[in-house]
Amino acid sequence: MRSFPVLLVFVFVFAHAFTVSAADNYVPIELPHDVRIDLPRNWKVISRNQRITLDSSVQARTESIGVFNASSDLNFGANLYDEAGKTAALVNIRYYPDLETTQEDARSATDADVQYLDSVLRSSIAKNGQTFGYSILKWLGTSQRTLNGNVAFITEYERSPLNNNGNSRVRLVRFFNGRASFTITVSYRAGQEYLLRPICDRIISSIKA
């Protein structure tokens, strides 16, 4: 039988190897206003009407540091496509340069404040659905969460299909930071939740602002 210390070393080496491998599957993305997020290497950025795989783009542009620099792109977005070329998951960011709400305000938000934000967002998203042809199927609400030291408000809902692509589970991750405030949308095909939700969870947990 192996001794206990030998088993500990084996477990540590295996866990470390898995962690390194998992980290290697993601690319750090530099966004405007010092926002940073990690995305899987096989996702594709839409740039100049072309789909550019993050992995190949990083190798071509910044191989020495392995970072995708999108710090000048206020409309950054990236998609995961399935074998048929349809979007299985996506990430995009929207900034709010006219907003004055700060991180200090976010930290002091009460339950009533979160409920009010939730009701405003639900109404706005429902109206957008009428315009763009989708409906809210499930509303899971808005919660306050600390991500890498900053407070975010995460709103989750499920909507009906667009372009016959299946229902989508959507999360809006909103950071209040004055004129650098932003929302990152993380969405995936609801029918592939078992595969896609852990990836989207990893993306959300990587957001730094």
Whether 195 contacts 186, CB under 8 Å: no
> For residue 30, which of 3, 1, 57 has the smallest C-alpha distance?
57
pLDDT at 177: 96
CATH topology of domain 4-205: Protein Transport Mog1p; Chain A (3.40.1000)
pLDDT at 49: 59
Domain assignments of the chain as residue spans, ordered by start: 4-205
- Tokens read off for 14: 């295996």
Report the relative pairing of strands 26-31 and 35-40 from DSSP bridges: antiparallel
Q: Mean pLDDT by 10-residue block, N- to C-terminus, for the chain (209 residues)?
A: 43 38 76 95 77 64 64 90 95 96 97 98 96 96 98 98 93 97 98 97 97
pLDDT digits (tens, 9 = 90+) for 44-82: 987 655 677 887 655 445 444 568 888 888 889 999 999
pLDDT digits (tens, 9 = 90+) for 2-18: 444 444 333 344 344 33
In this prediction the pTM is 0.84
Give the C-alpha separation, 189 to 192, whole Å: 6
